[in-house]
Structures are given as C-alpha cells and as structure tokens.
Chains A and B, each alone.
Chain A
Amino acid sequence: DIVMTQTPLSSPVTLGQPASISCRSSQSLVHNDGNTYLSWLQQRPGQPPRVLIYKISNRFSGVPDRFSGSGAGTDFTLKISRVEAEDVGVYYCMQATQFPRTFGQGTKLEIK
C-alpha cells in the first residue's frame, strides 16, 4: 500500500499570511497512463470533505485561486497564498494512482 505522510500535522497561521502543507508518498504516484493522481481535500469543522485540487495542480470548480498545488513523483505541496478565516479545517492529501486509495493523516489549519 502507498503510505501518504503529511507535514506539519498542525499549522497555526495568521490571517492574511501564507500557509503550506507537504505530502510525501512512499512510492511514485505516476500512473501507467502518465498522470499523477494526487488530490488535496479540505474538511471544514462539521462538514464532509471537499476536493480542492486534483492531479497535483488542477483547481476544482469554485475553488479560490489562493489555493495552489505543486509537486511531482513522491513530493507534493498545497499552498494557500493568503489565509482567510473560512480556510480553517483539516486538509488531506490523497492518492488515486493505485488501490487501495490512501489518505494522509490530515493537517489541521488554525488561526493564531
């Protein structure tokens, strides 16, 4: 199974400041078809998860452009350019390159 490791697990951030979350996979996420199926999900308190980014860097419909994804192979990053109050929650990376699908442990973003 592919193990997804996120750092940090907790991130206190000042409103208006940037934030960054890293995700490392135990093996390459490049699929045989050439795509890399790495997604980022956000889970606000009391809500189901929602997808922010898919295939490393593609923003899902309706996601603000302050969210961006980057990386390749086994190392990936989610960046928030300027944190807003509504960004509080837990962020997960997830791989869909192979079964079983696996998630990172989650990174809790909170406001200082």
Chain B
Amino acid sequence: EVQLVESGGGLVKPGGSLRLSCAASGFTFYTYTMNWVRQAPGKGLEWVSSIGSSSNFIYDADSVKGRFAISRDNAKNSLYLQMNSLRAEDTAVYYCVRGFEGFDYWGQGTLVTVSS
C-alpha cells in the first residue's frame, strides 16, 4: 500500500524557517517524481515544487522561488521541503504528492502557520 506521511509543520514567525519531511513507503520511491502541493485555509490547491526521480530536475512555483528548496534522499525514501523567509501567505496545509503526468497519491498533509 502506498503511503506518504508528512511531518515538520507547525507555527513559525514571519521571516522564519521550517523543514518539511515526507516519508514514503509501499512503492519504489526512487523511480517516481515527487511534488509538494499546498492548500491555504478554505482555499484551492496550489502546486509548489516538483523534483525528478534522481533529482535530475527541479521546478518551483514563482511564489516560492528563491525561498523554498525541494530535495529528496532516495536511500531513505524521503522527500523534503526547506522553507525560508516564510510569509503569512505561506500558511497552508502542505501535501506530499507522487507523480509526474498526474498526481496519483497524496499524503494527509502537514499544517504550516506563519504568524507573529
């Protein structure tokens, strides 16, 4: 069974940093593109970042470029999102998502709240 379990969310002050993790199991992690997608409270879905199976490509949304960094460790079946210079508008549930041409499995999400 495919499982994606996010962790690392919490309350952080504007300008602060946070690192999200996603533990993957139930599939051959190193063969899949992985993604982060976020959802602000009561709002729709926003793609954040994608990383290729061997970290061969990385794409970021303009809204996070230069502040967020996606990475992965295939030996640990883990995906990460380093978030720096956080802003109030980054407040959202962050989902770890599998897939390239389609997002087929989603984690339960981890809530990031940016507030003073």
- Interface segment among B22-30, B82-90, B97-105: the answer is B97-105
- The A-B contact count (CB < 8 A) is 57
Majority DSSP secondary structure for residues of B touching A: loop
- Please, how many angstroms separate the alpha-carbon atoms of A60 and B99 in the complex? 13
Interface 1/0s, chain A 88-102, versus B by CB < 8 A? 001010101001111
Does B9 interact with chain A (Cβ within 8 Å)? no
- Report if A92-B45 is in contact (Cβ < 8 Å); known contacts: A35-B101, A54-B104, A60-B104: yes
Question: Which listed residue, B44, B50, B102, B109, touches A39 by the CB 8 Å rule?
Answer: B102
Question: Which residues from 67 to 101 on chain A have a C-beta closer than 8 Å to any C-beta of chain B?
Answer: 90, 92, 94, 96, 99-101
Chain B residues with CB under 8 Å of A92's CB are 44-45
Q: Complex: how many Å from CA A39 to CA B61? A: 19
Residues of A with Cβ closer than 8 Å to B?
31, 35, 37, 39, 41, 48-51, 54-55, 60, 90, 92, 94, 96, 99-106
Closest A-B pairs by Cβ, 5 of them: A101-B47, A54-B102, A48-B106, A103-B45, A99-B59
A-B pairs with beta carbons under 8 Å apart, 26 shown: A39-B102, A41-B103, A48-B107, A48-B108, A48-B109, A49-B45, A49-B106, A50-B106, A51-B102, A51-B103, A54-B102, A55-B102, A60-B104, A90-B44, A92-B44, A94-B45, A94-B103, A96-B99, A96-B100, A96-B103, A100-B47, A100-B59, A101-B50, A104-B44, A106-B44, A106-B45
